[in-house]
Amino acid sequence: MKRLVVATSNPHKVDEIRNILHGFPVDVVGLDKYPDTELPEETGQTFTENARLKACAAARKTGEICLADDSGICVDALGGAPGIHSNRFIGDHSTPEERNQALLRLLGRTPEDQRSARFACAACIAFPDGKTLEAFETCEGVITQRPSGTGGFGYDPIFFIPSLGKTLAEVPQEVKNSLSHRGKAMRAVIGKLLQQAAG
């Protein structure tokens, strides 16, 4: 079993990735096992660039195979914003609830047929020698008028999946993992890792 270090200090993300990769021959741990590892600022212009920055920095520091992702929500009516700035578009210390409310205020009374959006996720696995494996996936949905549901995290309570008739915060974790941007990207990049390991 390969040890895979998730380059994040967010325990919710580590748990979600561990759940997504359940059944794969990898031992998923977070950076809490490597407290001296500091991640670089997300200075990339794309999700992929930011994921690569974090994964490569963590791999160099820990000497382990590291997995990082960068994800966010892209709202069509806002020209694709907040995009790569999803976690800090109203300030570095804002809460998920504050970001959700800010996004809903920006959309205002925008009609439902113009509230299309997608979650995007870039995943990168980096090796200590600098080599990388990458994947990029999306999940299509609609921004609701108000938050609904207590599961998930981040923008999940305002991201509605038409085919399910629910927000991502209203569905069981295994359902979310099967269709989410992060779930698809993680499975894709781990598939590349296992394929490479198999030669």
Contact assessment for residue 126 and residue 68, using Cβ atoms and an 8 Å cutoff: yes
Contact assessment for residue 75 and residue 107, using Cβ atoms and an 8 Å cutoff: yes
Dist. CA 107–CA 29, nearest whole Å: 38
The one-character DSSP state at 41 is P
Per-residue pLDDT of 83-133, as tens digits, reads 999 988 898 889 999 999 999 999 999 999 999 999 999 999 999 999 999
pLDDT at 113: 95
Write down the CATH number for the domain with range 2-197: 3.90.950.10
Q: Please list the alpha-helical segments (H only) found in the chain.
A: 11-20, 47-62, 96-107, 173-179, 181-197
Q: Out of 9-13, 51-55, 127-131, pick the least confident.
A: 9-13
pLDDT of 43 strictly over 80: yes
139 falls in which pLDDT band (50, 70, 90)? very high
- Decide which of 9 and 99 is more confident: 99
Would you name the residues annotated as active-site residues? 70
9 falls in which pLDDT band (50, 70, 90)? confident
Query: What is the model's pTM?
Result: 0.92
1 falls in which pLDDT band (50, 70, 90)? low
pLDDT of 13 strictly over 90: no
pLDDT at 187: 94
Would you kindly state where each structural domain of the chain is located, as residue ranges? 2-197
